[in-house]
Amino acid sequence: MADLSTAFLTEQQIMIRDAARRLAAGVVAPTAAERDRTSAWPRAELKTLADGGFLGMLIPEEYGGVGAGFVEFCLAQHEFAAVDA
């Protein structure tokens, strides 16, 4: 039986979600408490998210973004919010 959470997602959407989940766990989660205290994002973390394409998801490719759709954007945001709302 197919996993219902992925039954309606495309392969690309699953790949984006999984990449966001890995970055969320490995990059965002470890310093979430510190960001809450300081209200600041370390540059290295932002660069990692940018390099992964997560800071320009909705920007068209011709303008340097990823050109992802809203479903992909929401999937990624859900993963990041799960570790640091």
- Please give the average per-residue pLDDT across 47-76, as a whole number: 95
Q: Is 85 helix (H, G, I), strand (E, B) or coil?
A: coil
Whether 5 is in a domain gets the answer: no
- For residue 61, the domain's CATH number is 1.10.540.10
The predicted-structure confidence for 20-53, as pLDDT tens digits, reads as follows 999 999 999 999 999 999 999 899 999 999 999 9
Residue 59 structural domain: 11-83
Q: Which of 53, 22, 20, 49 has the alpha carbon at shortest distance from 35?
A: 49
Question: Residue 49: what residue type?
Answer: L
Could you give the CA distance from residue 70 to residue 84 in angstroms, rounded to a whole number? Answer: 20
- Give the predicted TM-score (pTM) of the model: 0.87
Q: How many domains does the chain have?
A: 1
